[in-house]
Amino acid sequence: MRNKTVTAAIVQAEVASDAQGGLELTREKALEAAAAGAELIVFPETWIPGYPAWLDLCRDSALWDHGPVKKVFGRIAENSVSIPGPALDHLAATAREAGATLVLGLSERVEKGSGRGTLYNSLVTIGPDGRLLNHHRKLMPTYTERLIWGAGDVEGLRAVDTPAGRVSALVCWEHWMPLARQELHESGEDIHVAVWPTVHDLHQVASRQYALEGRCFVLASGALMRASALPPELEPHPERVAGPEQWVLRGGSAIIGPDGKYVVEPLYDEPGLVVAELDLRRASEESMTLDVTGHYHRPELFDFRALRTGRRPAGEGS
């Protein structure tokens, strides 16, 4: 696959207010990206139903048995996506209509069986034929996120073959987990999708580091959100939120080459498609100086493996 050129696009937009609106917006934006020639289309972290920025921007979000927060959490749970389920079917139909591979973040809800009701910060990769190619659950929710999401597993920690090349993905602060990065590098990736709520300065650093280390292209994807979209039940913290039109998630989506340099510079504070043609041969060229799974890897000195025990299917067990 590394002898081809691929057109990739990141959708940067304001998130919808609920799951149904998110599904409709996904279709609209995916078709727009496909019309621009995109074969791989990426959406940000928890694109459906939107990142819970209120965790860090509103008062009393961690108070025990706090009625307003419980209402907000209940709404997130209600609008989270079951896998499999009707929402995933809708996304599969969108991928087929666009004729492109989709990678998008969503809040996942376990519908039945062991773990029923648990939410996960998840990523899905869907092929242009509508097949679910990968399903990754964020290994460890970061800080305040633990109020919402459960700890994930390694079953989706892998690159997968797509018509656009071998594609891997991580969620947000997973990019600072060295062993998670190495597992994906060893699975063989041409393009890595790095999803974030918003790609601020340190997130740019992590995304560029990943590209340099993995000798792959990185699509760093961030969302847009105004303070007016924060939950009406909660009070914004005045030191963090100045007014309803303030961008609390600023986007910052960018495309980075396998040398760690920008192919497309970050886009902040406005919606848009971040599009580029990626010459996958560059990944092979850059591996001449650094290849952490090849000549710059010493497997006879370091032993590493992921402990894959298998994800229990929904409905199995008590």
Which entry of 29, 39, 108, 172 is annotated as an active-site residue?
A: 172
Helix/strand/coil for 20: helix
Cβ pair 317, 289 in contact under 8 A: no
In angstroms, the CA 192 to CA 123 distance is 13
Helix/strand/coil for 234: coil
DSSP 243: -
Query: CA nearest 260: which of 161, 192, 306?
Result: 192
Which entry of 29, 108, 138, 216 is annotated as an active-site residue?
A: 138
In angstroms, the CA 107 to CA 119 distance is 7
Helices (H), the chain: 19-35, 54-57, 67-78, 86-98, 178-187, 201-214, 281-286
58 included as an active-site residue: no
Which entry of 39, 45, 189, 286 is annotated as an active-site residue?
A: 45
97 included as an active-site residue: no
Neighbouring CB atoms inside 10 A of 302's CB total 8
Residue 301 tokens, joined: 């000195």
138 included as an active-site residue: yes
Q: What positions carry a catalytic annotation?
A: 45, 138, 172
